[in-house]
Amino acid sequence: MRILVLGGDGYLGWPTALHLSRRGHDVGIVDNCVRRNYDHEMGVDSLVPIETLHKRVRLWQEVSGLTIETYVGDLTDAAFVDEVFERFEPEAVVHFAEQRSAPYSMIDRRHAVYTQVNNVAGTLNLLYAIAEHDPSIHLVKLGTMGEYGTPNIDIEEGFIEITHKGRTDVLPYPKQPGSFYHLSKVHDSHNMAFACRIWGLRATDLNQGVVYGQATDETTLHPGLATRFDYDGVFGTVLNRFCVQAVIGHPLTVYGKGGQTRGMLDIRDTLACVELALLNPAEEGEFRVFNQFTESFSVQQMAEMVADAYPGRTEIAHVEDPRVEKEEHYYRAAHTKLLDLGLVPHLLDGTTLRSILAIADTHRDRVDPEAIRATVEWRRTASRLRTASPGLRA
Amino acid sequence: MRILVLGGDGYLGWPTALHLSRRGHDVGIVDNCVRRNYDHEMGVDSLVPIETLHKRVRLWQEVSGLTIETYVGDLTDAAFVDEVFERFEPEAVVHFAEQRSAPYSMIDRRHAVYTQVNNVAGTLNLLYAIAEHDPSIHLVKLGTMGEYGTPNIDIEEGFIEITHKGRTDVLPYPKQPGSFYHLSKVHDSHNMAFACRIWGLRATDLNQGVVYGQATDETTLHPGLATRFDYDGVFGTVLNRFCVQAVIGHPLTVYGKGGQTRGMLDIRDTLACVELALLNPAEEGEFRVFNQFTESFSVQQMAEMVADAYPGRTEIAHVEDPRVEKEEHYYRAAHTKLLDLGLVPHLLDGTTLRSILAIADTHRDRVDPEAIRATVEWRRTASRLRTASPGLRA
């Protein structure tokens, strides 16, 4: 299959591209490399060193004998998107190419508007490109479990049957996202559902949980094929961040009570889920939603698991929650559709945790402890970061 | 009350500004006057001639002795929005300032992206401005009944109680909007709900039906105070368009079967509803939704009513529906909250219809019959308009 991986230079896009390449697909990577720029803006860096896109694509060819085409440009540039589609002629598109950090979107007005315009306009351009070039191209789009928020009823996969005043319909599941980033994904989902309806496009929305881990079968073939490992307060996700805190002897910082429960998955399962979606495409005109996670844990549980897995004594510290979210809530979310397609999950156990802790240990000298702190506060319209951003209000 | 009317140069914004001014409020108008530019782009014009913004504000002062401040600029320009808030210091904001035509948003990629970026980013800037200047400012935002689509269950006012697998919660009503314009309003609604939650803002989302009529108590005080009357295929709404078709002897063009049912309201009720929302503001942190319409009619019913009200024989023609929508469907939508606040509706009767027909009759020489035709097709990614737009694909 000819597959374009949009955002193929990022944390998940890169290993997904390698995985699909090794599985025999013709892969093209589209990326504007802006993720690397966010690091420069924030004054942080991936824990694990990463090569430039062009260097690692060349390295992949040396290691595997397989070629990945690269297109550097921006999805908000419609002419660029058209050109990529004309040159690559994809049969499927995997779309990771969005600003994906909730705290980044909450820094201030400028970052909120940037996040929504970038994500929404980029995805709109993509929908038009598919409709105009070939409506049969299957779009596999990364959404987030965070689109649902934490309702007091079970979360279903994208749709819910509602009986109301004696009548019944199956409707889009109501969304209560918790950041301007999460909102951008909700906007995308609505736009995609509509595009499928009017133009007969086929799309799969993968509402992904929080990913942990960094090593995959392909990235470990050579150190230069590594993907990023983020532990900072803006782009680092909870479990990876806890592992870095453990190895540098920093208390594991749990926001608030730690009762926030989230769907989680191993990075290797992200790759497997994306491939399963590609191999079992949506029907013509179908907009389908898969909840892409394998287990749910509370933040407190995750901190305890990491503390248990790391030798010696690791403290857990409860810090004020910078977000506006429920610190204790009901959480039960369906996630059977990918299992039905054949997903065999890597569950979170001591072995997995120790392997992530080992990666963190190897690179502990690169850790900047100052970068870990949560500096973006939801209740403020502008958070002061240690790196000055023009236009910030105190 | 010091009230900013955003989009105060438009069809509804202008008469709302006059109405609030005459009711004793201090009114400021914010507008980028882009609505007038859409006319230039489409090669159409308001049926009723309208004066420039500055001229009609001066005229209002001569007629009423009341002053309306004007700020010409764009909500997507955050520095401009900040400056307006600093200079005017509003206590409430009425927000009409969005691209409001479904067909315009469906012309092609460029118009879709423009509509969503303009509406979403403008509203985001506004939310930030309110939060930063004074979170107690009440935001009254125009949404649309079209956000809901046509579900097979009753439509409620913004929220619905759902019992699912033995648990119950009140959640945002699921949305199935039918154009990139309607989608932009859904995006706005989600963003506003979130801003109320994290910053304690107070907001009222008026999910308005389709407005008919053009004359209000204030606009009729002088011909130069008239507001626009759109009858063209892109910006004209159904009932006003039928009235123009009737007076020029054109068949009333019903899209498809005409079973499409929509909530409708008189322009004078728009003004009354906005004022009721302003006088009864949302609580701190509250995001509330009012369904702003007074009666529901199918398109076929409306055509028959107009045909009956106009002397002589008026034909009804069924043309292919350019939209992707259900031509027959269940439709029952709650609209009690504004009635509870005291709204006394102007219902659609022969007198009202004849008054709209009389306006159309007066200006019949200005009608361009070519402008009436629906030229934007939902199933195409690019519709060919009679005025060439650069970047259009056939």
To the nearest 10°, the Cα dihedral for B214, B216, B218, B221? 70
Which three-class secondary structure state does DSSP give residue A156?
coil
> How far apart are the C-alpha atoms of B337 and B293, rounded to whole Å?
11
d(CA B115, CA B112) in angstroms, rounded, equals: 5
pLDDT at B388: 54
A74-116 pLDDT tens trace: 999 999 999 999 999 999 999 999 999 999 999 999 999 999 9
* Whether B148 is catalytic: no
Whether B124 sits inside 8 A of A109 (CB atoms) is yes
Which chain A residues are closer than 8 Å to B105 by Cβ?
A: none
Residue A208's H or E segment, with its range, is: strand A202-208
Looking at beta carbons, which residues of chain A come within 8 Å of B86?
none
SS3 content of chain A, % helix, strand, coil (to 5): 40, 20, 40
Which of A128, A162, A175 faces B172 most closely, judged by CB atoms?
A: A175
Taking 60 as the threshold, does the pLDDT of residue A20 lie above it?
Answer: yes
Nearest by CB to residue B132, choosing from A131, A167, A393, is A393
Could you give all domains of chain A from N- to C-terminal order, each with its CATH number? 2-371 (3.40.50.720)
Hey, is A93 helix, strand or coil? strand
* Least trusted range by pLDDT, from B56-65, B286-295, B370-379: B370-379
**Quick one: how far is CA B156 from the chain centroid?**
20
The pLDDT of residue A392: 44
Between A and B, how many CB-CB pairs are < 8 A? 153
The nearest alpha carbon in chain B to A151 belongs to: B169
- Are the C-beta atoms of residues B186 and B175 closer than 8 Å to each other? yes
Q: Is there a catalytic annotation at residue B181?
A: yes
Q: Please, what is the average pLDDT of chain B? A: 96
Query: Is A60 within 8 Å of A225 (Cβ atoms)?
Result: yes
Contacts of A132 in chain B (CB under 8 A): 381-382, 393
pLDDT of A133 higher than 80: yes
Told to judge if A144 belongs to the known catalytic residues of this protein, a careful annotator would answer: yes
**B156-215 tens-digit pLDDT:** 999 999 999 999 999 999 999 999 999 999 999 999 999 999 999 999 999 999 999 999
**d(C-alpha B308, C-alpha A246), whole Å:** 79
pLDDT band at A393 (very low <50, low <70, confident <90, very high): very low
Residue B94 has pLDDT above 70, yes or no: yes
Gap from B288 CA to chain A (nearest CA, Å): 15
pLDDT tier at B248, thresholds 50, 70, 90: very high
